[in-house]
Structure formats: structure tokens, C-alpha cells
């Protein structure tokens, strides 16, 4: 009888452990990796124009490329060239059109600085845009 009670007790303990293992939410929950915040890329647009109005340049810089244009005559020429290099269709483009083009590519303005001396005017715009999240594979990773 003592043996039978011991076997019943062991059987009950095994049943409880098996049920606990099957029903435990900690065991059945799939661990999710912590969600990372958004990742950004940054770009700057530098505009330089001498106060005499001769020899201006515009430079667009990102982590992946540097594009620019110079003009010995007018700012409009270098802005138009850079706008076309960034995909613009306009024959002539002012600074506003160039800024619109950058915004259409998903860039958001972060900062703008302007410095003027007797010799030149320099403006720098800093932009950011969110990098796309990597696509999860079929197993969700």
C-alpha cells in the first residue's frame, strides 16, 4: 500500500509538472526583440554667394554622396544644375525649387544657419530622413 501511495504521489507530481509546462505563459511566449527607435540619415545643403555676386556654389552632401555646382556668374545657374542632378525637370530653378526637390525626396529640415560677412553670404540647411526598416523574413526575424 505504501508503494502504491508513493507511485500515485509521484504520478500526481509528474502530471502537475507536465500541466505547468504546457500551460505556463512564460514557456509558450515567443520572446520579441526590443523595438529599436527609428534610424535616420542626414544631409546638408550649403549655399555660398559672394556679396559681389560673382562665383557662387551650392553643395548637397549626404552619407552616400556629395553633389555640387559652381557658377562664375549667377547663383541661379548652379542651383538649376544641382536641381537637375537631383532629378528636377525645371530648366531654371531658384533656391525654393531646390528646397522643394529635397523635401519631395523625404528630407525634413532640422536646422538652418545663415552667416553674412562683407565678403560673402553662407547658408547651411541640415536635413534628415528616416531609413526604411529592414523587411522581416518568413520566420518574423
Pick the closest to residue 58 from 85, 19, 89 (CA basis).
85
Residue 102: partners with Cβ closer than 8 Å, 6 or more residues away: 43, 45, 60, 86, 125, 127
pLDDT digits (tens, 9 = 90+) for 37-71: 889 999 999 999 888 767 889 999 999 999 999 98
Q: CB-based burial of residue 107 (10 Å sphere; 0-12 exposed, 13-18 middle, 19+ buried)? A: buried
The tally of domains found in the chain comes to 1
- Residue 138 located in a structural domain: no
How many whole angstroms from its chain centre is CA 116? 31
22: left (phi over 0), alpha (psi -120 to 50) or beta: alpha
Pick the closest to residue 28 from 39, 37, 19, 36 (CA basis).
19
Look at residue 26 and give its three-state secondary structure.
helix
Domain that holds residue 110: 40-130
pTM: 0.67
- Which pLDDT band holds residue 83 (cuts at 50, 70, 90)? very high
CATH code of the domain containing 83: 3.30.1410
- Which pLDDT band holds residue 72 (cuts at 50, 70, 90)? confident
% residues pLDDT > 90 (the chain): 50
pLDDT digits (tens, 9 = 90+) for 4-27: 666 556 665 576 556 566 666 555
pLDDT digits (tens, 9 = 90+) for 102-124: 999 999 999 999 999 998 999 99
Strand partners, 111: 126
- Residue 13 located in a structural domain: no
* Residue 136, pLDDT score: 61
- Residue 121 located in a structural domain: yes
* Residue 100, pLDDT score: 96
Task: Give the HSE-up count for residue 112: Cα atoms under 13 Å, Cβ half-sphere.
Answer: 5
- Residue 104 located in a structural domain: yes
- Residue 141 located in a structural domain: no
- Alpha carbon distance 109, 126 (integer Å): 6
- Residue 70 located in a structural domain: yes
- Residue 62 located in a structural domain: yes
- Residue 60 located in a structural domain: yes
Number of H helices and E strands in the chain, helices first, is 4, 5
Amino acid at each position: 500500500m505504501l508503494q502504491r501511495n508513493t507511485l500515485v504521489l509521484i504520478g500526481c507530481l509528474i502530471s502537475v509538472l507536465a500541466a505547468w509546462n504546457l500551460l505556463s505563459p512564460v514557456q509558450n511566449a515567443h520572446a520579441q526583440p526590443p523595438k529599436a527607435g527609428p534610424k535616420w540619415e542626414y544631409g546638408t545643403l550649403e549655399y555660398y554667394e559672394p556679396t559681389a555676386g560673382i562665383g557662387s556654389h551650392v553643395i548637397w552632401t549626404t552619407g552616400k554622396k556629395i553633389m555640387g555646382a559652381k557658377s562664375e556668374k549667377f547663383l541661379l545657374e548652379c542651383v538649376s544644375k544641382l536641381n537637375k542632378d537631383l532629378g528636377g525637370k525645371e530648366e531654371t530653378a531658384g533656391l525654393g525649387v531646390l528646397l522643394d526637390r529635397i523635401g519631395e525626396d523625404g528630407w525634413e529640415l532640422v536646422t538652418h544657419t545663415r552667416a553674412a560677412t562683407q565678403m560673402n553670404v553662407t547658408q547651411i540647411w541640415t536635413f534628415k530622413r528616416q531609413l526604411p526598416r529592414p523587411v522581416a523574413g518568413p520566420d518574423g526575424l
